[in-house]
Amino acid sequence: MSMHPIALLICSIFLATLPLPCRGLAAEPASYPRVTVFRNGQDGYKIFRIPAVVKAVNGDLLAFCEAREGGDASKIDLVMKRSTDQGRTWSPLQVVQSADSFVKYFRGDVPPITVGNPAPVVDRLDERHPGRIHLPFTLENDRVFICHSDDHGATWSPPREITSTTKQKEWGWYATGPVHSIQLERGPHRGRLVVPTDHRLGADGADHGPNGVHALLSDDHGETWRIGAIDATYEDGLNANETTVVELNDGRLCFNTRDQNGAAAGTRGVGYSSDGGETFDNSGDRKYRFFVPAPAVLDPPVVQCAMLRAASTLNGDKQNVILFSGPDESGPTGKGRSDLRLRYSLDETRSWQDGPLLHIGPAAYSDLVQLSGTVEPNKASQDNPATDPERNREFGVLFEAGAANEKSYTRIDFLHFRLSDVLDAKQP
């Protein structure tokens, strides 16, 4: 039976007004719009990449990244911007480490100097220097340095080289983070600083060769640094690379890593440490000794990603929540580095679920930070979701982004969200 033309037109107009299904948030929280923190071609630099973010003890947000004249091997400064209003506005650019200041470390012809791979961590348990911020970074993806700030990032100490205690002779390429590092909050290693780090076998700074992950540890609030756990299983088919770490409620550390080769069933690997990062646990898998392929729901392209503890029953929260940020190859744009999505785990990283899709278009490296609320004991128990302090806890993601009509990422954005946005995200 055919439909009358007028009726068909009315029906078509009605259907056109229906909302299209989407994975994730219908819109960003209205009161916390997205802000562009770094944009290519501004502040005297051609390109900004490799973000990391932490919250200082005074509440300020510090957004770090590499300010480049070109690609990975170009001249690169390590820079920062500050927000004093939870990420709504950001300060002028501040150079934390200038490439030119490292000329003294070279002899003869000086190549374009690269300073980067920020892996900041806030030491909240140092009684002598409360709130000291440690910033591990690399020179030429080869030598390892650290600096610190005792005034919430306003000024920084001169850089101190720690290569001799943090790098093995057979390692060439070397990268700290790039992502926030962590301080252990519980157990026999409480106060330990843990920096997720990766290396490659071969010539100094060479961007090729088998990949491996290791942890940098400090048990004296950053005075000395050493190598802890090492993944040296270079022939098992999982090339562990840029890594993010989170402390679990059972005392273990979970290391989630970029698999440079993209092993099945995805492009991520996961490993654990039961001794505070001293060693990696044996996985029990015959093929993979330490790192095994991560759950398939974690399906970004080969890229850096970030994890962050969002809630813990040990702190009085109603549930355990760990967040994960990274591009989604199942997103609207399709394969490649695009469509930033949050994922979350309610069972301490054993399984993951899709959260909201925050950005459509080019997207790559990212980092996560908690804004409001606390991960300390929450004595108030409220059943009303609208007033539940846990669900209303605020977070931010700092990530490389580009417009949907652009071929690549051209800026670094900061986006607010609440825990309820993640837990209530509707999937198709």
Domain boundaries, the chain: 31-423
The average pLDDT across 260-275 equals 84
Average pLDDT of 112-141? 98
Residues 6+ apart with CB under 8 A from 150: 129, 131, 132
Q: What is the pLDDT of residues 390-413, one digit of tens each?
A: 899 999 999 999 999 998 999 999
H helices of 72-227, in order, are 163-166
- What average pLDDT does this structure show over 358-381? 77
Torsion over CA: 114, 398, 394, 215 (sign): negative
Rounded to whole angstroms, what are the CA distances from 83 to 113, 365, 414?
28, 20, 11
- CA distances from residue 114 to 75, 77, 350 in whole angstroms, order as listed: 5, 7, 38
Average pLDDT of 12-16?
37
Contact at 8 Å (CB) between 83 and 51? no
State yes or no: pLDDT of 386 exceeds 50: yes
Q: Is the pLDDT of residue 3 over 50?
A: no
CB 46 within 8 A of CB 112: no
Which of the four pLDDT bands, split at 50, 70 and 90, describes residue 13?
very low
E strands, 358-419, are: 363-370, 394-401, 411-418
pLDDT band at 427 (very low <50, low <70, confident <90, very high): low
Q: Is pLDDT above 60 for 28?
A: no
How many angstroms separate the CA atoms of 76 and 91, rounded? 20
Give residue for tokens 């806030």: 122
* Alpha-carbon span 258 to 240, nearest angstrom: 6
User: How many other CB atoms are found less than 10 A from the CB of residue 314?
Assistant: 13
- Residue 346 pLDDT more than 90? yes
The number of CA neighbours under 13 Å toward the Cβ of 21 is 4
DSSP secondary structure of 48-110: EEEEEEEE-TTS-EEEEEEEESSSTTS-EEEEEEEESSTTSS-PPPEEEE-GGGGGGG--SSP
Range with the lowest mean pLDDT among 28-32, 110-114, 187-191, 318-322? Answer: 28-32
Arithmetic mean of pLDDT, 265-285: 93
Residues 262 and 302: beta-carbon distance below 8 Å? yes
Confidence of residue 5 (pLDDT cuts 50, 70, 90): very low
d(CA 397, CA 399): 6
Matching residue, tokens 């440490």: 273
Report, as an integer, the average pLDDT of 119-136: 98
More confident residue, 30 or 426: 426
Half-sphere exposure of 185 (CA within 13 A, CB side): 17
Q: Is the pLDDT of residue 378 over 80?
A: no
The band of 12, judged by pLDDT with boundaries at 50, 70 and 90, is very low
Asked if the model's pLDDT at residue 207 lies above 80, the reply is no
The pTM of the whole model exceeds 0.85: yes
pLDDT mean over 332-352: 94
Write b or e for each residue in 136-155: b if 16 or more Cβ atoms lie within 10 A of its Cβ, otherwise e: bbbbbbbbbbbbbbbebbee
DSSP one-letter code for 362: B
The topology (CATH level 3) of 31-423 is Neuraminidase (2.120.10)
Helix (H) / strand (E) element for 163: namely helix 163-166
Residue 387 has what pLDDT? Answer: 62
DSSP label of 313: G
pLDDT at 209: 81
Question: Can you give the pLDDT at residue 16?
Answer: 37
| pLDDT of 24 strictly over 80 | no
The mean per-residue pLDDT over the stretch 157-185 comes to 97
Backbone torsion region of residue 117, taken as left when φ is above 0, otherwise alpha when ψ lies between -120 and 50, otherwise beta: left
- The span from the CA of 48 to the CA of 37, in Å, is 10
- 44 pLDDT band, cuts 50/70/90, is very high
49-63, 197-211, 228-242, 270-284: which range is least confident on average?
Answer: 197-211
CA distance linking residue 185 with residue 183, whole number of Å: 6
Calculate what percentage of the chain has a pLDDT beyond 70: 86
Distance, CA of 201 to CA of 178 (rounded, Å): 19
Q: Which two tokens stand for residue 120?
A: 């900041």
C-alpha 280/C-alpha 294 separation (Å) is: 16
Residue 71 binned pLDDT confidence (cut-offs 50, 70, 90):
confident
